[in-house]
Amino acid sequence: MTDHDTPEDEILDRLRAADPAARSRPDLDRLRVAVDARIRDDATAGAAPATARPAGRAGATVTPLTSARSRRSSWLPVAAVAAGALVLGAAGYGLGLRAGSGDSAPTAAPAISLGGPAGGATSPGAPEVMSAPADAAMYPAPSWSHMSFHAVGLSDETGTSPAWTYDPSASFTADRTAALGAALGLEGEPQRVGGSWQLGVTDGSGAYLMLSPDGTTTVSFYDPAKDPHQCPRSEAGTSAPDATGVATDAAPAPYEWCDDNPDAAPPPHGEDALSPVRTLLTAAGYDPATFELAENDYGDPNVTQVVAHQLVDGERTGLAWYVILSAAGVQNVNGMLAPVAALGDVPVVSPTDAVDRLGDPRFGSFGEVRMLAAAENHALDAEGTDGTSADAPVTSGSVSQGPDAAPPTGPPPAGTPGSPVPWPVEEVAITGARLGPALYTTPSGTALLVPAYELSADDGRTWSVIAVAEESLDLAR
């Protein structure tokens, strides 16, 4: 149990209780998309009229979106700060994920990431925030951001590929909030609070559900009664003072954080964990068959994490439902509710032209950066498999010299008159190209699934770039 010296300590403990994902490595791409989507004031979405798909593709027609829509999103007011913090705690499951063994092996390729809502690619040489071990040391080295890309053995044929949009106007409603809430055991009438739809309580005393007015209708749910790390309060406690310093009559939450709960029953596993998630997806209006479910080792024996990766045409979209289950049932959910509507096929550039885009400042490149761990002097993979934490941001403007580089023993030499300025450029041969959908959030907040290429070199590094042909891109600011 936790002792509280001040009411603020008690509030912080209740907020931490909503974030069992604190042990996970944050997914910075998803966090950036989620934050950018929520702080836009105005968003509009439109689509092309319905057309028929070419032969050979599943589905006969394209669903049209015939009217422009506008949405307004804003941060929750001060009165809902606690609720907002709890939402971030719940969203932690979507922002952090540990690889683990599921009952079924993944069949879809990993989602292609465009890196951010402003086009998904950083300009060549621009800093790119990434995740790194806390003890990673960025030793002086040639900047790998100076690269020259060329295609080797890739096709120069253009083509078409389907695109989709998320339609939040069909999901961001009181009825959808109530229906999903009923599936999660919540009763009552949804309320609009700070632009979001909310159902339940947000003071830590009970379960709540929140739908956010973003491009995918982000869903957040948390139930402290089903959290094995929320223990019944051992003592009544005192009322917290209000803004004037006067104690209020509001009763404290009946739960408080506990690291160990010896009375907690083991969580479900296998089909016992996957089945409730399928039921939840059905209640959300989805076909569970369009998701790839996997049970992951979250590192907490008291809960089970199930990740449901959304699939479109058999490809992962980059969005997923993250569900935490305890022995008592569904404890925490983070996902999306907006349906996917087809926009038809759009022209795409060839793989060879996509490689050229990596050197085009209008498209830039988004790729892998390898770092050196100071303590162990070796490169880490994206998951930080040496067991170190992976939450220290670094930039791609300066990277390590590689696994064989020795730490510096002194300062670098001074420049000499007449010497050329070192500007090392790495020649990168792109030998592989994979075309698939990638999540892209437009400047107005609309969430699209656009064709993108994942381009790979023989050493395993990859870069992603939008594949849509220039005639189908609106390049105006």
Residue 149: inside a domain, yes or no? Answer: yes
Q: Is residue 66 part of a domain?
A: no
Segment (H or E) for 447: strand 447-457
Residue 260 lies in a domain: no
Pair (367, 383) in one structural domain: yes
The pTM score is 0.64
Q: Domain check: are 126 and 206 in the same one?
A: no
User: Which of 297-328 are b and which e, b meaning 16 or more Cβ less than 10 Å from the residue's Cβ?
Assistant: ebebebbbbbbbbbbbbebbbbbbbbbbbbee
- Number of H-type helices and E-type strands within the chain: 6, 22
Q: Are residues 381 and 350 in the same domain?
A: yes
**Which of 294, 316, 337 represents a domain boundary (last residue)?**
337
Same domain, residue pair 326 and 275: yes
Is residue 256 situated within a structural domain? no
Residue among 197, 183, 168 at smallest CA distance from 70: 168
Residue after which a domain boundary falls, among 310, 337, 364:
337
**Any domain includes 101:** no
For residue range 317-345, list pLDDT tens digits in order. 999 999 999 999 999 999 999 999 999 99
- Say whether both 288 and 368 belong to one domain: no
Same domain, residue pair 431 and 452: yes
Which residue, 309, 337, 365, sits at the end of a domain?
Answer: 337
In this prediction, residue 419 carries a pLDDT of 96
Whether 375 and 467 map to the same domain: the answer is: yes
- Angle in degrees, 0-180, between the axes of helices 174-183 and 271-283, rounded to the nearest 10: 160
> How many domains, the chain?
2
Tens of pLDDT along the chain (477 residues) come to 444 454 445 444 544 444 444 444 444 444 544 554 444 444 434 343 333 333 333 333 233 333 333 332 332 222 232 333 333 333 333 333 333 334 455 678 889 988 643 333 333 333 333 333 444 344 344 444 688 999 999 999 999 999 999 999 999 999 999 999 999 999 999 999 999 999 998 887 899 999 999 999 999 999 999 988 877 666 554 444 444 444 444 555 676 767 666 677 899 999 999 999 999 999 999 999 999 999 988 888 889 999 999 999 999 999 999 999 999 999 999 999 999 999 999 999 999 999 999 999 898 655 543 333 333 333 333 344 444 333 333 333 333 455 556 888 999 999 999 999 999 999 999 999 999 999 999 999 999 999 999 999 999 999 999 999 999 999 987
Residue appearing with tokens 């044929």: 157
Q: In this structure, is residue 70 part of a structural domain?
A: no
Same domain flag for 227 and 304: yes
Residue entry with tokens 């950018």: 36
Do 198 and 283 lie in a common domain? Answer: yes
CA separation for the pair 178, 450 (Å, rounded): 31
SS3 for 188-215 is CCCEEECCEEEEECCCCCCCEEEECCCC
Would residue 262 count as lying in a domain? Answer: no
Q: Based on the fold, state whether residues 311 and 460 are members of the same structural domain.
A: no
Q: Are residues 325 and 428 in the same domain?
A: no
Q: Is 259 within the bounds of a domain? A: no
Contact call for residues 121 and 365 (beta carbons, < 8 A): yes
Does residue 290 share a domain with residue 201?
A: yes
Which residues form the domain of 330? 7-39+75-96+173-212+218-239+267-337
CA distances from 393 to 99, 229, 301 (A): 21, 29, 29
Q: How far is CA 248 from CA 205, 243, 255, in A?
A: 16, 10, 19
Q: Report how far residue 183's alpha carbon sits from residue 284's, in angstroms, rounded to the nearest whole number.
A: 9
